[in-house]
Structure 1
Amino acid sequence: MTGIVNTAQSAAWNGYEGEHWATHADRYDAVNSGFNGYLLERAGPDDRVLDIGCGNGQLTRLAAARARFALGVDLSGPMLATARARAAELPNVAFEQGDAQVHPFTESTFDLAVSRFGVMFFADPVAAFANVRRALRPGGRLAFLCMTALAGTDLGRVFGAMAEYLPQPTGPDGSGPTSFADPEHTRAVLTGAGFEDVACTHVEADQVWGRDVPDATRFIADWGPVRHHLGLVDPATAAKATEALTAALEPFAGPEAVRLRGTAWLVTGRRS
């Protein structure tokens, strides 16, 4: 893989973070797949679809089932290995490893670019979306999902329960995973990248985090950012943080799963 500018993210997604997501592909899909329809409904039978930050490839495969062709691009070797294995029987799916900010897409190739929580970590988001725009044909569409601010959400409540013992695992709102939490900032980035008709629509979906509370606690505690912060404190503090996490998940436990109501921005735009 060449042409990587986002080296820190490349290291993470080709290290523990990417391995964890690849190993637990079904679990991460259970967290995020409730949002798939918001993107898939935009794909038509004649479309060529680009999936940015495709991860383990679920959205790419589903897009290919509705469209003429789908290409998934991601930094993560471990996740792309999973994506390729799961799409081995599909003739109209391909995957490429690369940094979407600088990846040499063929210009004016795709009708639709989508992403399910895969665009929040660009080193230079204006440059990255300008590169994606070049990959779209004139009139091509962009649709992606990104995290809202965590304040007032179920996930914010769960993470907030650990705040006495650990920093916010996602960083402050407006950075890291929530870098596009402010719609005005998002509109400015996409307009700066050359997109028109930019809109941000608040959407929600259920997210399954585990079979029961102990299972969900283990899964979240092993998620890269939480695991990192747990490793920075002494064992007693880490245990208290885990206990607080467990208690925060209890109200969301049902007979079959632990479900949180997830919130996101559905961001759309168009290449002129």
Structure 2
Amino acid sequence: MSETNAEQRAAWNGADGDFWVERADRFDEGMANYMEPFFAAAAIQSTENVLDIGCGNGLTSRVAAASANRVLGVDLSVQMLELARQRSAGIPNVQFEQADAQVYAFAQAEFDVAISRNGSMFFDDPIAVFTNIRRALKRGGRLVLLVWQSIDEHEAISTFRTILAAGRDLPKPPPNAPHPFSLSDPERVHTVLGRAGFDDIRLAGLREPMYVGRDPQDAAEYVTSMFGRLIEEGEQDTVTAALLADMAEHQTSRGVEYGSAAWLISAANPS
């Protein structure tokens, strides 16, 4: 395992994994509006085997299992996989494995479809990981990914960063490092997947409201628990007040919602 992926494994088996286990439902609620187009693009059939990359707490694996012959969900986080197994008890055609998809020895040509909802952006060598995934796909097999568009296109993240920075200029993450926006550049996506051996590479832009919390207080606690490291000492009260005020403007009948933007990426393993 590379040094970068080893760092990712340590994080997802440490504080990051604990964080998302505790907030599993909130994350799924936030992504709910993307589920229908994501699975429509995957078009999973009853005879097909599915590989779910970065399956996290297992919701996407369970949804896939309702249509598929068999589903294997893989992730780095032991904690998240344990929750996935608990929530998937009684579903006979889904299983979970702790695995680094960049190097894991998948059986070759075993899967018809590989999917990943926000789980494919954290590898230090994306060409290597997608080459490995493609080898696990049958000829003509499909790859379907959901990834974020750039920070500038993502109202929720850009707004939260601006408020929490309290006037400071925050550097944007480097384009080629593992982070939530590492596959936000369409040109990079085409290069990475093309060099990994995929063809028929397509990106469709999606924009959906993202649920953040039931009310401003609930939403602000969630956001500061994620991005609190951005708040400088002594700015907590000012930042919290600004965050609550902005979230009050985004209160809807469904809760606090902000705009978000994602790419729905599809590609094929050549026949």
After TM superposition, the structure 1 stretch with the greater mean CA deviation from structure 2, 206-215 or 147-156, is 147-156
Partner secondary structure for residue 99 of structure 1: coil
Partner of 2:248: 250
CA distance in 1, matches of 2:193, 2:138: 16
Deviation at 1:242, TM superposition (A): 2.8
Partner of 2:181: 178
AA paired with 1:132?
I
Deviation at 1:8, TM superposition (A): 1.3
CA distance in 1, matches of 2:36, 2:67: 12
C-alpha contact 1:212 1:256 (8 A) present in aligned 2: no
| Superposition pairs of residues 90-239 of structure 1, within 5 angstroms | 90-155=91-156, 156-164=158-166, 168=170, 171=173, 176-223=179-226, 226-230=227-231, 233-234=232-233, 236-239=234-237
CA distance in 2, matches of 1:36, 1:260: 17
Segments of 5+ residues of structure 2 without an aligned counterpart are none
TM-score, normalised to structure 1, is 0.91
Q: Figure out how many residues of one structure are paired with residues of the other and give that number.
A: 265
Deviation by residue 1:112-163 (Cα, 9 ceiling, x = unmatched): 0000000111010000100110110111000000010121432122322223
Segments of 5+ residues of structure 1 without an aligned counterpart are none
Partner of 2:61: 60
Deviation above 4 Å: which 4+ runs of structure 1? Answer: 165-170, 172-175
Q: 1:168 to 1:13 in 2, by over 3 A?
A: farther
Deviation at 1:245, TM superposition (A): 2.4
Deviation by residue 1:225-259 (Cα, 9 ceiling, x = unmatched): x13334xx31x123333333223322211234111
CA distance in 1, matches of 2:95, 2:171: 33
RMSD, aligned CA: 1.9
C-alpha contact 2:118 2:146 (8 A) present in aligned 1: yes
Partner of 2:82: 81
